[in-house]
Amino acid sequence: MSNKKPTLQWLTIVGIGEDGLAGLGDEAKQRIAKAEIIFGGKRHLALVAPFAKGEPHPWPVPFDAEMRDVLALAGRRVCVLASGNPFFHGVGATLARKVKAREMHVIPAPSAVSLAAARLGWALQDIETVSLHGRPLDLIRPLLQPNARILALTSDGDAPAAIARLLAELDFGASRLTVLEALGGPDEIQRSARADAFDLENINPLNVLAIEIDSNPQARVLPLTSGLADHLFDHDGQITKREIRAVTLSALAPRRGELLWDIGAGSGSIGIEWMLAHPAMRAIAIEADPGRAARITRNAAACGVPGLIVVAGSAPKALARLDTPDAIFIGGGGSDTGVLNAAIKALRIGGRLVANAVTLEMEALLLAQHVKLGGDLTRIAISRASPVGSMQAWRPAMPVTQWAWVKP
């Protein structure tokens, strides 16, 4: 990086829409014209070429998220060209992690989502938005709620059809899909079809997909509360049951952006629901059984949190070199003192640890830790009604002893 001390607002970020130069105001044009170096995609650089005097720098391939080339020019007059609003899933947000706000001057254009909402007459505060640009389509699954309206940024012209197939598979086939292509430009077009009868072809790669959800009673809707039904997870019986899971998530108390270790993850249900609490949540599932580890990955995708990290290995060895957790869950019927001690040591100050016991051996271990370290002990007993001949009776599930502790 240059040793020259950066001047205030050495970096200008200009958003450009599909209307190109016609959408740029005088200030944007003046800033571009005065820039010594201009970064951007080849298409954007070509648009400003008639009046830009600075040296053009096309983005490298692959794209450098560290922005080394831009940062190396700190203190000089640098301009970055971006699509639409640079701070809506754009390069502006990437640069803001490296450059102080007072050193940037930003001139945004309307985002594709803003343009799509305006064309459809949808209130932005009443809809869900998701970026699927270069990201798994499974991220849309938690948003599939009855009567929801969704605006999705896609990667290419094939994505709308793939999303339509996914909706049809999940029994949202009656949903209406509207593809808004090349928004804001001379080639703008809008086309619609039902998800289960999607037949649109030759879709512009620059598109936004608007979805009006229509579901039938069999649709795979992921409830917004903790304690998803057990049948929503593929499992072999190694799963924290619904009611216990709801109590456990409450004790873990997810907070925005935190990292959970789910040790002995089984089906992955705890880590999955932790991540469903907010898009910023992170989780690592540690599972020794290879078959179960593979199942966790499938469950995470099916529940719309494909970013869940699965570590196939046995604790405590598998815990080495993992990022420091904000919370840890230990489930199952084990009684390994080494796992619990390793978890306590790894947890950050102020972090939460929740451990469930169904065996006497594990319960004894938790009782000993409670005596030693304090925390809260809870006994959870669940009974379900089931047939006894022609009548109904309560059948108790195995009781669970839960220890919850905050590291001082």
320 assigned to some structural domain: yes
Q: Assess whether 235 and 342 both reside in one domain.
A: yes
The Cα–Cα gap between 64 and 19 comes to 27
Answer whether residue 56 is part of any domain.
yes
Decide if 194 contacts 178 (C-beta within 8 A). Answer: no
pLDDT attached to residue 103: 96
pLDDT in tens, 180-224: 999 998 999 999 999 999 999 999 999 999 999 999 999 999 999
Q: What is the CATH number of the domain that holds 316?
A: 3.40.50.150
pLDDT for residue 225 is more than 90: yes
Is residue 44 a part of any domain in this protein? yes
pLDDT for the residue 238 = 86
Kindly report, residue by residue over 56-79, the tens digit of the pLDDT.
999 998 989 899 999 999 999 999
Question: CB of 253 within 8 A of CB of 405?
Answer: no
* Residues 88 and 136 occupy one common structural domain: no
- Do 272 and 397 share a domain, yes or no? yes
What is the per-residue pLDDT across 357-369, written as a single tens digit (0 to 9) for each? Answer: 999 999 999 999 9
Give the pLDDT score at 5: 56
In-domain check, residue 243 = yes
> Is residue 186 domain-resident?
yes
Domains in the chain, number: 3
Identify whether residues 253 and 193 lie together within a single domain.
Answer: no
- Sign, CA torsion 289/407/356/307: negative
Which residues form the domain of 259?
230-406
Residue 95 sits in the same domain as residue 121: no
User: Could you tell me what percent of the chain has a pLDDT over 90?
Assistant: 89
Tell me the average pLDDT across 167-182: 97
Burial degree of 101 (CB within 10 A; 0-12, 13-18, 19+): exposed
Q: Quick one: 130 and 279 in the same domain? A: no
User: What confidence score (pLDDT) does residue 333 get?
Assistant: 64
Side by side, the strands of the sheet bearing 259-263 are 309-312, 282-287, 259-263, 327-330, 352-357, 400-406, 376-380
**Which 3 state secondary structure label does DSSP give 395?**
strand
Arithmetic mean of pLDDT, 36-47? 93
Backbone angles phi, psi at 11, to 5 degrees: -115, 125
Average pLDDT over every residue of 287-296 = 96
CATH of the domain at 159: 3.30.950.10
Rounded to an integer, the average pLDDT of 389-404 is: 94
pLDDT at position 18 is: 87
Q: What value does the mean pLDDT take over residues 233-259?
A: 95
Both 364 and 269 in one domain: the answer is yes
**Confidence check: pLDDT of 382 > 90:** yes
Segment 11-38 mean pLDDT: 93
The answer to the question of residue 219 being in a domain is no
**Type of residue found at 130:** V
CA distance 340 to 209: 47
Look up residue 84 and give its two tokens: 């639409």
Better-predicted residue by pLDDT, 283 or 43 = 283
Structural domain includes residue 327: yes
Mean pLDDT, the chain, whole residue set: 94
Q: Please indicate, yes or no, whether residues 253 and 381 belong to a single structural domain of this protein.
A: yes
Whether 243 and 191 share a structural domain? no
Residue 2 has pLDDT above 80, yes or no: no
CATH code for the domain of 104: 3.40.1010.10
What local confidence, expressed as pLDDT, does residue 237 receive?
87
pLDDT over 70, % of the chain: 97
Q: Please tell me the predicted confidence (pLDDT) of residue 22.
A: 87
- Residue 46, phi then psi, degrees to nearest 5: -65, -35
205 in the same domain as 126: yes
* pLDDT tens string 112-125: 999 999 999 999 99
- 360 and 330 share one domain: yes
Q: Could you say which of 185, 212, 239 is where a domain stops?
A: 212
> CA nearest 77: which of 112, 127, 32?
32
At residue 109 the predicted structure's pLDDT band, cuts being 50, 70 and 90, is very high
Instruction: Say if residue 32 is in the same domain as residue 176.
Output: no
